[in-house]
């Protein structure tokens, strides 16, 4: 029983925060880029949110287009419209939401044009 209780406690402590709709919609968020992947016509950024009024969390931002000037460690700002990472629920499908949550600590994502992500510092 104590092992189960300890496991639950660890899961609660290390689980990323849930954000309310007011915290993740129609608000300018700032964060530090901690992961960055480029593809031919898009980029994926893992961002650690730094807003003082929000709990510490990581989000995944994907963009239409690339900005090759953005680097890991840059501070960025964007107009938030974060959605919870989900899966289609098809049988045999990879559970992307659980994968991101367990391996990267990411619960929310957003897709936007690259021009909407502003570098505000490093």
Mean pLDDT by groups of 10 residues along the chain of 122 residues: 65 60 81 93 94 87 94 95 78 73 83 95 87
d(CA 109, CA 93): 19
Structure-token pair, residue 17? 């925060």
Report how far apart, in Å, the C-alpha atoms of 32 and of each of 1, 9, 10, 49, 92 are. Answer: 40, 28, 26, 7, 35
Asked if 20 and 57 touch (Cβ cutoff 8 Å), the reply is: no
Q: How many other C-beta atoms are found inside a 10 Å radius of the C-beta of residue 76?
A: 20
The whole-number pLDDT of residue 17 equals 64
The whole-number pLDDT of residue 7 equals 63
The whole-number pLDDT of residue 20 equals 74
């Amino acid at each position: 029983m104590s092992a189960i209780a300890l496991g639950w406690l660890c899961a609660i402590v290390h689980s990323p925060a849930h954000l309310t709709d007011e915290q993740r919609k129609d608000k300018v968020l700032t964060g530090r880029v901690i992961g960055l992947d480029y593809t031919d016509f898009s980029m994926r950024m893992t961002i650690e949110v730094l807003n003082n009024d929000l709990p510490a969390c990581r989000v995944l931002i994907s963009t239409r287009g690339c900005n090759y000037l953005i680097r890991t460690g840059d501070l960025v700002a964007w107009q938030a419209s974060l959605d919870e990472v989900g899966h289609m629920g098809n049988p045999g499908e990879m559970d992307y939401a659980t994968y991101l949550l367990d391996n990267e600590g990411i619960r929310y994502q957003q897709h936007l044009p690259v021009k909407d992500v502003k570098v505000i510092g490093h």
